[in-house]
Structure 1
C-alpha cells in the first residue's frame, strides 16, 4: 500500500513515476445509515477499497475526504455532517491543484457516496480546464462495473444502508455494524415512478432503503473483492492511457 501521507517529499517523485504520475483521492461521506450501521460507511468503504487497490497497483492514495454532499439525508436523523455542493467542488479543486503541483498527472477520484457525483464532475471540469496535461476520472464505486451495479441495486433501486452496504461492512469493518438491529431495519424503496428526487426523510421511515436483514459477511467478502478487482483493472488501464491528441492548446500562427 502506498499512502501519500506516509511518503516524504523526497520519496514522492519516484513513487509517482513508477505508476504513470497517478494518485487516488478516496471520497466518502459522514451521514446516517439507518439504525444498524455507523455514520462513516461511505468513507470506510472508499478508504478500504483504495487501500486494497493501492497495494495491488502501487498508485498512491491521498488522505480520504470524509465529508460529502449529503444534504438529501436531511436533519431528521442525527449523524449527518453535509457539505454544500459548491464547497465540495472547491475543496476537491484545491486538492487537485496541489496534487498537480506535486507531480500528479492522472488523478482518480474514487467516490463511494452517490450524491457526490455531480459536484465531483464539476471539480473534474474545473481541473482539466486549468491544467491541460492533467487527466481526471471520477469513479463512482457502486457503478464501476455491471456486476457491481447489479448487486448494489438488487434489493432496492434507490438503495441506502441496504444488503450491499451492510454485507460489505460486515466483511471489512464489522465494528460499524449492529447485528441486533438488522432484523427490523428493512425499509422498501418508495421512489419507483417518482418524477422528483425526494429527500430521504420523505422516502424512508428509518433512513434505510433496502433489505439489510439479508446481509452476510460471505456476500460482503465476494462483493468487496469484485470492487477491488474491477477498480484495480480500471486503474491499470488508466495508468497506461494517453490523450488521443498530444496537445489541445489553440495557437494562431
Structure 2
C-alpha cells in the first residue's frame, strides 16, 4: 500500500507523476458510549481508506484523527474536538501541500458527519485558489447504497450504534466492551432542528449496539471498502471537461482584447 509517510521524496514525486490520487482519511476523537473506544471514527476512516488504497495503488495520506465533534459537549469525557475554523484550516493546508508535491487529485474520505461543513468549505477554498487541484469529499456512511443501509439500520442519526459496533468487532474485537453497551432510541427522528448529543441521549449512544456482531461488521465493512474503491477508480479515470485548457490559467485559450486608441 503506498503510504505517504513510508515514501521518500522521490517516491512521492513519482506517484504524483503517475497520476495517483492523494487520499486523506478524516476521523474524529469522541465519546462512543461505554462500550466503544473514543477513536472509533478515526479507526474506521483509516481502515477503510487503507484497504481501498491497497487495491487501487493510490497514496494514503496521514489521517486527520481529530474532527469537529462540538455536539458532544463536555457532558461525557473522552471527546477532543477541533473548532469548525481549525478543521477547515487543516484540510485547506493539507490540500495546498499535496498540490505542491505534484498531485492533481485529492479525495477526502470522512467517517464523522459533522466534519462535513468544515472539510467541504476547505475544498471550496482549494478549488478557488488552485483550480489545477481536483478534489472530492465522500463519507463512509454514504459511499454506497449498501453502506448507507447498514449504517442507518437502527437510527436516522446514529452514534455508537449496531453498525459502528459491529465494524469495530470485525476490525479489533478487543476494543469493544459489548457487556457495557446500552440501546437508546433515536429522538431526532421527525425533527427539523438540530440538537447537541446530551439533549437526545442519556448514554451517549443512539441506536441498538447490543445486537452487534462481527459477522454483521464484516459484511458492512466490506461494502464500505468496495464503495471507496469504486470511487477512487472513478476519480483516477476522470479526465478534464476541457482537456485543452490549463486549469491554473482561467484565461488560457481566450482572446484578451487590448485597449484601442482613445
Preserved contact between residue 21 and residue 103 of structure 1 (Cα < 8 Å): no
Q: CA deviation at 1:6?
A: 0.1
Kindly report which structure 2 residues correspond to 1:7-46, keeping only aligned pairs within 5 A, or say none: 7-18=7-18, 20-46=19-45
Kindly report which structure 2 residues correspond to 1:96-245, keeping only aligned pairs within 5 A, or say none: 96-182=95-181, 185-245=182-242
The equivalent of 1:77 in structure 2 is 76
SS in 1 for 2:10: coil
TM-score normalised by L of structure 2: 0.93
For structure 1, the 5+ residue unaligned runs are: none
Separation in structure 2 between the aligned mates of residue 223 and residue 53 of structure 1, nearest angstrom: 14
Q: Following superposition, which runs of at least 4 residues in structure 1 exceed 6 angstroms of deviation?
A: none
SS in 1 for 2:237: coil
SS in 1 for 2:23: strand
Q: CA deviation at 1:224?
A: 0.6
Preserved contact between residue 105 and residue 133 of structure 1 (Cα < 8 Å): yes
Q: CA deviation at 1:179?
A: 2.1
Separation in structure 2 between the aligned mates of residue 21 and residue 135 of structure 1, nearest angstrom: 12
Separation in structure 1 between the aligned mates of residue 47 and residue 16 of structure 2, nearest angstrom: 21
SS in 2 for 1:11: helix
SS in 1 for 2:24: strand
Separation in structure 1 between the aligned mates of residue 17 and residue 168 of structure 2, nearest angstrom: 34
Preserved contact between residue 31 and residue 70 of structure 1 (Cα < 8 Å): yes
SS in 2 for 1:103: coil
For structure 2, the 5+ residue unaligned runs are: 258-262
Separation in structure 1 between the aligned mates of residue 146 and residue 168 of structure 2, nearest angstrom: 18
Per-residue Cα deviation, 1:143-196 (whole angstroms, up to 9, x for no partner): 1111111111110001110000000000012222112213xx111100022221
Preserved contact between residue 70 and residue 80 of structure 1 (Cα < 8 Å): yes
Separation in structure 2 between the aligned mates of residue 237 and residue 193 of structure 1, nearest angstrom: 35
Preserved contact between residue 92 and residue 122 of structure 2 (Cα < 8 Å): yes
SS in 1 for 2:59: coil
Separation in structure 2 between the aligned mates of residue 91 and residue 160 of structure 1, nearest angstrom: 25
Q: CA deviation at 1:14?
A: 1.7
TM-score normalised by L of structure 1: 0.96
CA RMSD of aligned residues (A): 1.1
Larger radius of gyration: 2
Preserved contact between residue 171 and residue 218 of structure 1 (Cα < 8 Å): yes
